[in-house]
Amino acid sequence: MNETLSTFMKIGITALCIGLLLFGVAYSMLDKEAGEYEQKIEAERVNLP
């Protein structure tokens, strides 16, 4: 029973770490892209008559 629980916990913690890592990478990518898009929109807004 303890060995099964230990294996389950190892798999769960590994999956959680991978999920957090992927979330962090995706969040930073989206934040960067949104910032670049915002700069483009602001540049176009300034050029409007």
Q: What is the pLDDT of residue 32?
A: 94
- The pair phi, psi for residue 48, each rounded to 5°, is -70, 150
CA–CA gap between residue 19 and residue 2 (Å, rounded): 25
pLDDT at 47: 82
Backbone angles phi, psi at 39, to 5 degrees: -65, -40
Q: What is the DSSP letter of 13?
A: H
Instruction: Check residue 1 and give its pLDDT.
Output: 72
pLDDT tens string 3-49: 888 999 999 999 999 999 999 999 999 999 999 999 999 988 888 87
